[in-house]
Amino acid sequence: MKLIRMIQNGEVRPGLWKDGLIVDLKMIFPSIPDIGETFFAENWLEKISGVNAPGLALNVRLTSPICRPSKIICLGKNYAEHAKEGGFDAPDKPLLFCKAPSALSGPFDPILLPKSSGQVDWEVELAVIIGKTCKRISRTNAMDHIAGFTIMNDVSAREAQFGDGQWFRGKSFDTFAPLGPVLVTPDEIDDINNLQLTTRVDGALMQDGNTRDLIFDIPFLMEYISKDMTLMPGDIISTGTPSGVGIFRNPPVILKPGNVVECFIESIGSIINRVMEG
């Protein structure tokens, strides 16, 4: 299944995406919760799995396929080539940081340049959506705890990221986590460890990586994180970005108003975000 959240007449409604057509799940299940912690905890993924209603061409705006999670956990330097382009060694254990859940925005919403910081940059990332509570789980059954996968652009204001001494502010400005366009359930992805991911800015290829190059893979990360931190249904783990970010290019490339950033991952799709003054 491919799940979406759509905005129709000011209301967010969960739906299924079928090749450009939409099944409005609220029409079928009036009591269905928004796609988030309650949705997964009440096993709605299974309840909707039998839906075979035809999709309709609805005029709606897509928003992030998950409502505000308890946390967005991100990985720094989880691709060796990206660590290297920044002049760093590959880490010997996962480098975790958090992005504010309020930074989430829709797959086609604008990226707003903050007034308080410059050097805004792109990072295409495979994002894991947790489906079941995880506490001290083993990597051997970690994949059973996943609801699905989506794309996140881990937008970063490098000036604040590197100037503050830690990364929270520079990673958490409003609109700095475009997500989507769909949440793809694991059964629809042949091999999560072999997906191409790219970023294009105004059509020019900037990042071109593959999830096979993740230093710490998804099961390892879920075991590592859940050792002492509970992962809640709906939480996001964004697995890190491959090489080709703007700040480490020669010369550096900084996003400007009017740029259009497209982050693509095979088997999921593309999110496309225009850069605007905030």
Whichever of 41 and 95 has its CB closer to Mg ion, that residue is 95
Min CB(134)–Mg ion separation in Å: 21
Binding-site string for Mg ion from residue 108 to residue 127, where x marks contact by CB under 5 A and - marks none: ---------------x----
Q: What b/e readout covers 23-52, taking b as 16+ CB neighbours within 10 angstroms?
A: bbbbeeeeebebbbbebbeeebbeebeeee
Torsions phi, psi for 111 (to 5 deg): -90, 120
Q: Are 235 and 69 spatial neighbours (Cβ–Cβ below 8 Å)?
A: yes
* 271 token code pair: 């999110």
Q: Which of residues 205-234 bind Mg ion (CB under 5 A)?
A: none
How many whole angstroms separate alpha carbon 179 and alpha carbon 107? 5
Name the residue with the smallest CB distance to Mg ion.
Answer: 154
Whichever of 84 and 132 has its CB closer to Mg ion, that residue is 84
Whichever of 13 and 99 has its CB closer to Mg ion, that residue is 99
Min CB(99)–Mg ion separation in Å: 9
How many whole angstroms separate alpha carbon 265 and alpha carbon 269? 6
Among 105, 119, 185, 241, binds Mg ion (CB under 5 A): 241
Min CB(190)–Mg ion separation in Å: 25
Binding-site string for Mg ion from residue 137 to residue 166, where x marks contact by CB under 5 A and - marks none: -----------------x------------
The number of angstroms, rounded, from the C-alpha of 117 to the middle of its chain's C-alpha atoms is 23
Interacting residues with Mg ion (CB under 5 A): 123, 154, 241
